[in-house]
Structure 1
């Protein structure tokens, strides 16, 4: 699972920059390390939600029993009590609808890819909690199906939705890191590449010099910056990299080329 989340983050990062993830060979350890940032925030949020639920659960149970319609004399209070119970049981539909409205009106619609699974998971959990509250208010105990196949189905659905949520968060993390890298990629070590053969490297910002005098290396390429070194290969970005022209060059380190680093 950690391997998958790390791979998802790296794949999103390399897609943003403009080359396939397979060119960046970080190995299993690299995927596992990348998964830390992808799962850390969701785990913290999940633990905070769990702690908050444990703190408010007794008060919610007392309120639920106190607002039972048959105990209320005022019609408007009974209406509020019934509406609250209905909304809680329909959370699996209400919460995603609210999340869709917020992401498409108040924030970037692109956040819907994360809000969709997260809101569905929250809605399913709230609806299940509503059933628990109703059963507890009626009998003083949890629902009889809590250890039945129904519980297993709810658990499986929730786990799947949470897995989907963490995957989408990993993708957003990857895109975010790529955007930050692009903002400062010209601060990365500069690369001057000498080659025996003409590498036909044509991209905005690359300067090519061909030496007339004899020597081991006939061509010089400047205006390159290092993205990563992986498996004996250099992943290079030109000075003129843009999102519309995402050139990335993969150069194998061998006797045919010479690399100079500069700052």
Structure 2
């Protein structure tokens, strides 16, 4: 029971992290800090499936493929290789991959960024090769336990780093998709009893609205980006990256109308 709860907690933590990374990168594209949206932990978890499901499917496929490859091919090949020679090869692979990770990380902007998730997975691969190259740890020896724990941490860091890069990439893709589909997003009309500064929106004075209206100004040409605890984040329908995003707070003198697009 405890093991199942621990696994559930770990999965939930990963889903939350992926959802947070995806949302943060999506709204960063529009110059908005995700913190002002007031999203809960459940909101981030619910936003994670588009990012998490491909990762889970890929990991399961790779795991099954690796098990089958080891059972059908590698087990016999490894049994025929001298253990000392095999460890030498594995240590050589570890040194090469570790050096590559360090060099690519130091020159990340020039070289490392081109690999995407390949760079952190290279770190995980290096940790796995080192673990396979080590002799069987002696029971109770502190140094062996420390080395095993350090390799596990490095492998986990590589996977978490890969999740971060993948989640950020998914967030940027979602933002670009939102931008491309901006004209078809819900149209927003803002009614206000005072003049608002909303460049990019078209407004109509009281002379062109019904006399009985409680609002003096009507603003159109806006699209909904997100709902916040304090109001709505709005974009001009011709918004370009770098332009302002408007936070229109709800109050007694403001009304927001939303209309879907056909």
What range describes the TM-score normalised by the shorter chain of this pair?
0.7 to 0.9
Q: Which residue of 1 aligns with 2:78?
A: 64
Cα shift at 1:181: 0.8
Q: Which residue of 2 aligns with 1:151?
A: 148
- 1:89-100 pair list within 5 angstroms: 89-90=94-95, 92-93=97-98, 96=101
Match among 49, 66, 74 for residue 36 of structure 1: 49
Q: Which residue of 1 aligns with 2:10?
A: none
Distance 1:62 1:46 in 2: 25
How many positions carry a matched residue from both structures? 237
TM-score (norm 2): 0.76
User: Which whole-Å deviations, capped at 9, do the CAs of 1:96-144 have from their partners, x for residues lacking one?
Assistant: 49999xx979xxx755453321221122213423x16xx5xxxxxxx23
Cα separation, partners in 2 of 1:260 and 1:82, compared to 1, 3 Å: closer
Q: Which residue of 2 aligns with 1:233?
A: 231
Whether contact under 8 Å (1:95, 1:123) holds in the other structure is: no
Whether contact under 8 Å (2:235, 2:246) holds in the other structure is: yes
- 1:5-20 pair list within 5 angstroms: 5-20=18-33
Partner-residue secondary structure (3-state), 2:148: helix
Match among 37, 47, 55 for residue 24 of structure 1: 37
Distance 2:60 2:110 in 1: 28
Cα shift at 1:209: 2.1
Whether contact under 8 Å (2:122, 2:158) holds in the other structure is: no
Distance 1:159 1:69 in 2: 27
Whether contact under 8 Å (1:92, 1:126) holds in the other structure is: no
Cα shift at 1:187: 0.5
Cα shift at 1:145: 5.1
Whether contact under 8 Å (1:191, 1:225) holds in the other structure is: yes
Whether contact under 8 Å (1:236, 1:248) holds in the other structure is: yes
Partner-residue secondary structure (3-state), 2:251: coil
Q: Which residue of 1 aligns with 2:3?
A: none
Q: Structure 2 unaligned runs (5+)? A: 1-12
User: Which whole-Å deviations, capped at 9, do the CAs of 1:183-214 have from their partners, x for residues lacking one?
Assistant: 102101111111111111113xx212222476
Partner-residue secondary structure (3-state), 1:29: helix
Cα separation, partners in 2 of 1:98 and 1:149, compared to 1, 3 Å: closer
